[in-house]
Amino acid sequence: MTFNSVIEDIKIVIKSIGKRGLLPTLTMVWHEYSFDSKYGIRTKGRQAQNKGKLESTNSKGGKEYQGYSYFLFRKFMNRLAIDFSQSVFVDFGSGKGRVLIMASEYNFKRIIGLEYAEDLFLESQINIGSTKVNASNIHIEHEDAAAYSIPEDANVLFFFNPFDEKVMESVLKNVDASMERTPRKIYIVYTSPTFETCFDERGYEKVFELHNGAKNEGIIYRV
């Protein structure tokens, strides 16, 4: 851990206290460190994206990597009215693989990660390979999310505010197309929501919303 990373962590904590309050922030921080320690990996913190060799007009739409909260992830999963063993989970902007490892605790039928940044994609493969979880049902793709065809059996889609509005619109068009091909219930977990209008304009049903103080942690939509 470098001096700069420590300073960055302190800034994140201070910002979180201002929005969420002291106790919720301390709870989340404890879970942050315990998660990486539990699996012997390093997925917390932030990191700028490096697209690598994958070229796309959407390259500027991606945002920096930030590990998602283990504490909050469990809250959202516990609100899903699904049979996990018969469900397929897709993480858009899977980064270093943290959410994929979290999802593995819920016995999903399949877990798919999409990552545009080459360095994060490679690091996620290392993290998944070095954990004690059963990784046989985890598949990570180095791909542009806007060009990704949603699998016909995918029914849980996870977004940790991974890209801009333009890319989000493209992804949701792909979701709609998948629904037209194979009608089913799809749950979208949209955390740190920024572009809610993209979802609301489509008439997606909001079934759960989580707030911590002034912070909107996320929304579950049913398509």
The Cα–Cα gap between 4 and 115 comes to 25
Q: What is the pLDDT along the chain (223 residues), one digit of tens a residue?
A: 566 666 767 777 787 787 777 877 777 777 777 777 788 787 765 556 555 555 555 555 555 777 899 989 999 999 999 999 999 999 999 999 999 999 999 999 999 999 999 999 999 999 998 887 888 899 999 999 999 999 999 999 999 999 999 999 999 999 999 999 999 999 999 999 999 999 999 999 999 999 987 789 999 999 9
Three-class DSSP category at 202: coil
What is the reported pTM? Answer: 0.82
CB 95 within 8 A of CB 145: no
Interior angle at CA 52, CA 136 and CA 69, nearest 5: 55
Domain ranges for the chain: 47-222
Three-class DSSP category at 193: coil
Sign of CA pseudo-dihedral 44, 50, 53, 55:
positive
**Among the listed residues 156, 148, 177, the one whose alpha carbon sits nearest the alpha carbon of residue 91:** 156
**Domain 47-222 architecture:** 3-Layer(aba) Sandwich (3.40)
**Among the listed residues 15, 203, 118, the one whose alpha carbon sits nearest the alpha carbon of residue 221:** 203
The Cα–Cα gap between 120 and 54 comes to 13
**Among the listed residues 34, 13, 37, the one whose alpha carbon sits nearest the alpha carbon of residue 25:** 13
